Amino acid sequence: MKITKLLPITLALLLGATGVYAAGGADAQSQDTAVYTLNLADYLRIATETEPNASDVSYGTEYSSATIDTAMTGVFKVISNNRTQDFYLVGTCPTAAGTTKCLYGADGDCKNLKMVFTKIDVPPAATAVTNITGGSPTTGENPDAIAFPLTITPNREDGPDESLSATWDTDKIKYTMNNGIETFTCTVSGSNDTNTFSTHDTDGQYQATLTMTETAL
């Protein structure tokens, strides 16, 4: 008698549960996604990988020329994750006014040009440098300023196929590269440029500085 009364109740509960499962709810779903996002900021690193050495200078007969004894080589490394990255190579030398731009005479691909060195302890007037960088130097009008050949050799170290362009931008070199790693070997060697060396150039240390920068100085 007890078993007879219990069976219908149990059956009813089972049927009720089955009905809920079959019908589902208004917010029922069988799939969803979770999206994970990474943000890679622009990355640019410009560093001097090799500092240039100093060198003595040898004179021609009767102080007629100046020749660098040991080639002076510095190396810059540029690392960028930007598909189009602009940066510049700027040359400066000490003058009485502070510093003056000192690169000139670049060839078509900006791999061969000239750089002016000036005396450190008593820097010349800025006009001594501009007399040379103007392209028509006059002996005697550029005292304590001497120009030498500068050679720049780019090299692709990593990244997609190289896409490096170099253009002359008034008084500096503008580079544009795609993402990757590029090195720039900058070597000063050889003899002075015409009409940039004479007895007006006195003894002492002469200096020029190359700066690779994202900013158009």
Which residue from 17, 14, 150, 21 is spatially nearest to 73, judged by alpha carbons?
150
Q: With a cut of 50, which residues of the chain have pLDDT below it?
A: 1-21
Q: Which two tokens stand for residue 131?
A: 């007399």
What pLDDT is attached to residue 27? 86
Q: Does the residue 202 lie in any domain?
A: yes
Which residue from 187, 208, 54, 213 is spatially nearest to 129, judged by alpha carbons?
208
What pLDDT is attached to residue 12? 44
What pLDDT is attached to residue 133? 98
Q: Which two tokens stand for residue 106?
A: 């670049």
Q: Does the residue 146 lie in any domain?
A: yes
Q: What residues contact residue 47 under an 8 Å CB cut-off, 6+ apart?
A: 76, 77
Core vs surface per residue 73-83: b (16+ CB within 10 A) or e: bbbbbbbbeee
What pLDDT is attached to residue 23? 55
Q: Does the residue 17 lie in any domain?
A: no
What pLDDT is attached to residue 57? 98
Cα distance between residue 200 and residue 34, in whole Å = 75
Q: Does the residue 181 lie in any domain?
A: yes
Q: Does the residue 69 lie in any domain?
A: yes
Rounded to two decimals, the pTM is 0.85
Q: Does the residue 30 lie in any domain?
A: no
User: Which domain, by its residues, includes 187?
Assistant: 44-213
Q: Does the residue 9 lie in any domain?
A: no
Q: Does the residue 10 lie in any domain?
A: no
Number of domains composing the chain: 1
